[in-house]
């Protein structure tokens, strides 16, 4: 298990782009090493590993499809080998369940296949990946699950996506309760609308939507990845060790 003299190690799912990449780099700046996962774009993941190295840290990129729960046991074995090979450790300290996709679809048009994809990635994936990694998570570690502001406010077209994130928020409370005996704190970070390629880049690239969100945000603009990664890395610092089972919305005051 980890000691105070060791560098902490975080696993960040979906760490090759967007909020996951930003989180990985923010953690590296705070002296945390990172195992990041990617689904298909290894070159992007390797570029993030190189950036982590440039910051003086160690990064390792592992392929993972969070929609494929049958692969999680093998993934956990790969994580165990990576910990031993690169860190001479048998545990890691932080898990950030970030990987996801944005599927926009009105209630009347959402297909069952789309719905199942959202379930598998955003809820089933989080549940069972965490389960399989728990034996490797150090006592006193932390988990951050990424949700969305859409669990508090409603925008047409996001019923299925937001429902999965709502389930993750309930799951977070239960994780905190059940893992408390091991000293593991579990929290939710719920971003508002962010300018990334998520969901096809709708918020970033649709000027009308961007203006609409900005006009309904107290701080007057749409969020950026830098607004989120720093919050997640801060939650994983010792300064915030007593925060547990909380939903922390990071939206600049969207729809308040």
Which residues are part of the catalytic machinery? 161
Mean predicted lDDT score pLDDT of the chain:
95
Q: Is 246 exposed, middle or buried (0-12, 13-18, 19+ CB in 10 A)?
A: middle
Q: Is residue 221 situated within a structural domain?
A: yes
Q: Is residue 255 situated within a structural domain?
A: no
CATH number at residue 50: 3.40.50.720
Q: Which residue has the higher pLDDT, 28 or 207?
A: 28
Q: Is residue 3 situated within a structural domain?
A: no
List the domain range (segments joined by +) for residue 168. 9-250
Domain count, the chain: 1
Q: What is the pLDDT of residue 2?
A: 40
For 223-243, what is each residue's pLDDT tens digit? 999 999 999 999 999 999 999
Q: Is residue 236 situated within a structural domain?
A: yes
User: Is the alpha carbon torsion for 187, 126, 147, 49 positive or negative?
Assistant: positive
Cβ atoms of 26 and 10 within 8 Å: the answer is no
Q: Is residue 256 situated within a structural domain?
A: no
Q: What is the pLDDT of residue 205?
A: 76
The DSSP annotation for 120-180 comes to IIIIIHHHHHHHHHGGGEEEEEEEEEE--GGGTS--TT-HHHHHHHHHHHHHHHHHHHHHG
For 133-185, what is each residue's pLDDT tens digit? 999 999 999 999 999 999 999 999 999 999 999 999 999 999 999 999 999 99
Q: At what angle do helices 159-179 and 125-133 cross, to 10 degrees?
A: 20
Q: Is residue 86 situated within a structural domain?
A: yes
Q: Is residue 2 situated within a structural domain?
A: no
pTM of the model: 0.95
Q: Is residue 104 situated within a structural domain?
A: yes
pLDDT band at 3 (very low <50, low <70, confident <90, very high): very low
């Amino acid at each position: 298990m980890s000691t105070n003299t060791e560098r902490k190690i975080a696993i960040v799912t979906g760490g090759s782009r967007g909020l996951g990449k930003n989180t990985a780099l923010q953690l590296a700046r705070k002296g945390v090493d990172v195992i990041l996962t990617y689904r298909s774009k290894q070159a992007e993941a390797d570029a993030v590993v190189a950036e982590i190295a440039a910051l003086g840290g160690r990064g390792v990129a592992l392929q993972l499809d969070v929609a494929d729960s049958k692969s999680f046991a093998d993934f956990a074995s790969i994580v165990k080998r990576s910990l031993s090979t690169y860190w001479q450790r048998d545990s890691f300290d932080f898990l950030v369940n970030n990987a996801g996709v944005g599927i926009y679809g009105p209630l009347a048009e959402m297909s069952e296949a789309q719905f199942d994809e959202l379930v598998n990635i955003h809820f089933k994936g989080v549940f069972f990946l965490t389960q399989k990694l728990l034996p490797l998570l150090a006592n006193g570690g932390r988990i951050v699950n990424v949700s969305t502001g859409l669990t508090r406010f409603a925008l047409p077209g996001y019923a299925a996506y937001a429902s999965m994130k709502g389930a993750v928020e309930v799951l977070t409370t239960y994780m905190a309760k059940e893992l408390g005996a091991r000293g593991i704190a579990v929290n939710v970070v719920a971003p508002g609308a962010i300018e990334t390629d998520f969901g096809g880049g709708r918020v970033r690239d649709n000027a009308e939507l961007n203006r609409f969100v900005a006009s309904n945000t107290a701080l007057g603009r749409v969020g950026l990845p830098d607004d989120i990664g720093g919050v997640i890395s801060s939650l994983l610092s010792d300064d915030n060790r007593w925060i547990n089972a909380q939903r922390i919305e990071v939206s600049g005051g969207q729809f308040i």
